[in-house]
Amino acid sequence: MSGPYKKTKVLVAGSTGFIGTNLVNNLVSKGFSVRGTIHKQQPRYKNAEVEYVQADLTLMEDCQKVVKDCKYVFMAAANTSGAAVMKSNPLSHVVPNVVMNAQMLQAAYENRVSKFLWISSSAAYPPTGDRPTTESEMFEGDPYDAYYFVGWMKRFGEIMCQMYGDKVKPPMTTIVVRPTNVYGPYDDYDPATSHVTAAMIRKVCERQSPIVVWGDGNDIRDIVYIDDFTEAMTRSVDELNQYTVLNIGYGKGFTVKQILSTILKCDDYQNPKIVFDSTKPSMIPVRLVDINAAKSLLGFKASVSMEEGLAKTLKWYRECEIK
């Protein structure tokens, strides 16, 4: 990061979620003055250097309140869940997220926020097989059917960011990051809502037998450790000064079987019984992204290997989640 940030006021909307919690830590470590929003979920631990504000971001008056006097806004607030919820109730992600995104962008613009970073998703891309997809391909077809609802919600969020970042006069710098599968400490490990990596970490740590994995295990995922993702976010806001869209990922795909095998090795769980349940939703068979734009514009490349990241996450989970 360039220059001192001690007096730079930034907002982390959704500061108590997985990404928000880790992002707050990153920003505080860099010297930013951080305000974080709280809704239903309280902070796992309260950082004394953070100004926490209770807010419902579906209410415009709360959006106006939290962005006041902030130079940068990181929009990490979202209604999220795993494959099971997206399969059974896909509309649950649409309305609250569209409302929050629209109102936070408008509130930030009216309060003359300098830069607004919004988190999209690589799941919104159309199918590209085993070829890494580039940023320009987002609207070249519908998302996978399994992600149709959440994918189009994300796409509409991107369009709104482009409106404020490129179309209105004067523009507000908006930055859209499209992460792959992010994992690490403070993730959602609830079996009803967790994503695949977090779900497998919990099952391994609990020594479940059999370990039941949704799908056939051959789905390919690019998984990126949370510290790398938050570093890409803060670097984006520091270095980009116009509307920009970036893929953020590790840059390599792994099968679900490979990820599980690494988790088992890191946690020394030997010869467990594993059952792959192909009747359960496994979402996208292959999702790889091209990360060259982030390398070119930010000089960013993920530095934490899958083995190192999973080992760190397992250590944290055993210390903090298992009581």
CATH of the domain at 108: 3.40.50.720
Taking only the tens place, the pLDDT of each residue in 126-173 is: 999 889 999 999 999 999 988 899 999 999 999 999 999 999 999 999
Q: In Å, how far are 42, 183, 268, 318 from 311, measured between CA atoms?
A: 27, 12, 11, 11
Q: In Å, how far are 134, 160, 223, 315 from 310, measured between CA atoms?
A: 27, 35, 10, 9
Asked if residue 323 has pLDDT above 60, the reply is no
Q: Tell me how far apart the alpha carbons of residues 57 and 38 are, in angstroms, rounded to a whole number.
A: 10
Both tokens assigned to 159: 């369009």
Q: What is the pLDDT of the chain when averaged over all its residues? A: 92
Asked if residue 1 has pLDDT above 50, the reply is no
Residue 3 lies in a domain: no
Cβ burial 53-67 (10 Å sphere, 16+ → b, else e): eebebbeeebbbebb
Both tokens assigned to 135: 């940023």
Q: Residue 207 sits in which domain range?
A: 9-320
| Of 92 and 252, more confident | 252
| Of 4 and 218, more confident | 218
DSSP class of 137: G
Taking only the tens place, the pLDDT of each residue in 189-206 is: 998 888 899 999 999 999
* Backbone φ and ψ of 244, nearest 5°: -145, 145
Residue 2 lies in a domain: no
Asked if residue 52 has pLDDT above 80, the reply is yes
Q: What's the pLDDT at 85?
A: 58
Answer yes or no: are the C-beta atoms of 231 and 26 closer than 8 Å.
yes
Asked if residue 55 has pLDDT above 60, the reply is yes
Residue 316 lies in a domain: yes
Number of domains in the chain: 1
Residue 4 lies in a domain: no
**Torsion sign (Cα): 5, 11, 13, 14:** positive
Q: What's the pLDDT at 194?
A: 87
Taking only the tens place, the pLDDT of each residue in 63-74 is: 999 999 999 999
- Amino acid in the structure at residue 174: T
